[in-house]
Structure 1
Amino acid sequence: ELEVKILENAAPSSRFPLTEVYDPDVGINSLQGFKLSGNSHFSVDVQSEGHGPKYPELVLEGTLDREGEAVYHLVLTALDGGDPVRSSVARILVTVVDVNDNAPVFTQPVYRVSVPENLPVGTPVLAVNATDQDEGVHGEVTYYFVKITEKISQIFCLNVLTGEISTSANLDYEESRFYELGVEARDQPGLRDRAKVLITILDVNDNVPEVVVTSGS
């Protein structure tokens, strides 16, 4: 079996050499041509040097998409001109190699959560998540805050690998009842997607009543 690896962004009409084929017969009984079966994405063309070996080449006829189809199984048949016709068959395994052509995508554009103001420091609030259809390093996603104030960056922290958002300071309903955070998912080498995180702070009974004494007239 022959194995051919092709980048998924290879241009149509790209050529990929296969093994040479030699037929010791001469004239009409010698190797006359090839037939390729298995998929319409490819055809076969032959380079030759006179009556010597013939060099079949795999020709890409269309575009590839590894996420749609990652492997192609082809059959190359070499035919001579004898009577009866003699043939030889070689199986070809085409592996489509991933390139970074898919950006990460968040599972939702806006994440909402409500938390009590007495949440202990270091408590997870929620986790954002993005998926990437690419494989290997191209599909590894990391997470970052974007377009947030310095104050918010002191109150919340984001795990770059898991997308988990936790508190890094005490919350106070009386100080701020709502936070809006921008988050960004990035793959390698840098395709990205963005989402919003909306955090509502819930009041708890953490303030004692205050008696205000006014003087009578």
Structure 2
Amino acid sequence: MNEQTSPGTHLVLQHAEDPDIGINAVQSYRLSDNQYFRLNEKNNSDLSKTPELVLEKPLDRETQSIHELILTASDGGNPVRTGTALIRIIVTDYNDNLPVFTQEVYKVSVSENAPINSTVIILTATDKDEGTNAQITYSISKTSENFFTSSFNINPITGEITTKEKLNFENTEHYEMSVQAKDGGGLVAQSKVLIEIIDENDNAPKISIRSLSTPIPEDSAPGTLIALIEVHDQDSGENGEVDCQIIEYYTVYIIIKLFPIYEQ
């Protein structure tokens, strides 16, 4: 019986047989106590009775997948004789449960030097249904597909997200993508994945001379500005901090002063 079967549905049962006749034949039926079914006795034209199960309340396979009832048939003799039968009702699944991700938002960090095809994160979603209704397929949502499928791939079976290309912190520091889990019945759940790219010291400082006074008059006073040098490193944090030194110098002492450059 499907868990979506409507209350009030009648299920005709096999009637009991008794070789006796008249009052000594089967006279009544009784059903064991339970929360979901009641017994109905249908009177036939030959004065016999046919037992019917009537569903009283909605079934839920996820709560109880099997119901076992005892049907008792009694005759009208003295003493009364009875016979019993076990009724085993298996509740079949209906796709009435959405997939559920283990987290509403996943947060993960990955190095910008991670090789192509590196695992970023493995997503997990579950479904209380069974069979094909519980089979989950993972994908990047359509809203994120155009932006992230060039950088990341998601395994539709395992939910593993991997890199498809070399990442670059200097181009993109973080990604925010929507993912979905779809069960075999078409129900969909969504979650969000936040990927932070970790900066690595993969850029050398670049030096440029913004202004230079040459030649230098021999009577130049100490402290005279003769050159303005700009040093820039695309990395961040300590990886972007620079220290300037003069490798070779002559009898003239040159002092280098470092000033921060504020970009608008």
TM-score range, shorter chain: over 0.9
- Hey, what's the Cα distance between the residues in 2 that align with 1:153 and 1:129? 19
1:8-87 to 2 correspondence within 5 Å?
8-51=3-46, 53-87=48-82
Q: Are the equivalent residues in 2 in contact too, given 1:34–1:79 (CA < 8 A)?
A: yes
Q: Are the equivalent residues in 2 in contact too, given 1:22–1:53 (CA < 8 A)?
A: no
Q: Deviations over 1:62-101 (max 9, x none)?
A: 1100000001111000011111111111011111111111
Which residue among 85, 91, 98 is the counterpart of 1:96? 91
Which residue among 145, 153, 176 is the counterpart of 1:157? 153
Deviation at 1:216, TM superposition (A): 2.4
Q: Is the strand fraction higher in 1 or 2?
A: 1
- Hey, what's the Cα distance between the residues in 2 that align with 1:215 and 1:101? 73
Q: Quick check: 143-152 or 161-170, which moved more? A: 143-152
**Structure 2 residue matching 1:66: 3-state secondary structure:** coil
**Structure 1 residue matching 2:133: 3-state secondary structure:** helix
Q: Given the superposition, is the C-alpha separation of residues 30 and 50 from structure 1 closer, same or farther in structure 2, using an over 3 Å criterion?
A: farther
- Indicate yes or no: 2:137 matched with 1:142: yes
Which residue among 115, 121, 124 is the counterpart of 1:126? 121
Q: Are the equivalent residues in 2 in contact too, given 1:138–1:187 (CA < 8 A)?
A: yes
Deviation at 1:108, TM superposition (A): 0.6
Q: Are the equivalent residues in 1 in contact too, given 2:113–2:166 (CA < 8 A)?
A: yes
Q: Deviations over 1:15-62 (max 9, x none)?
A: 112112233433332221100004221111122423365321111111
- Hey, what's the Cα distance between the residues in 2 that align with 1:127 and 1:143? 11
- Cα RMSD of the aligned pairs, angstroms, is 1.4
Q: Are the equivalent residues in 2 in contact too, given 1:31–1:81 (CA < 8 A)?
A: yes
- Hey, what's the Cα distance between the residues in 2 that align with 1:193 and 1:89? 47
Q: Are the equivalent residues in 2 in contact too, given 1:22–1:52 (CA < 8 A)?
A: no
Deviation at 1:197, TM superposition (A): 0.1
Per the alignment, residue 111 of structure 2 pairs with 116
**Structure 1 residue matching 2:67: 3-state secondary structure:** strand
Which residue among 199, 202, 210 is the counterpart of 2:206? 210
Percentage of identical aligned residues: 43
Point out which structure has higher relative CO (alpha carbons under 8 A, 6+ apart): 1
Paired residues in the alignment total 212
TM-score, normalised with respect to structure 2: 0.77
TM-score, normalised with respect to structure 1: 0.93
Structure with bigger gyration radius: 2
- Hey, what's the Cα distance between the residues in 2 that align with 1:110 and 1:90? 53
Gaps of 5+ in 1: 1-5
Gaps of 5+ in 2: 214-264
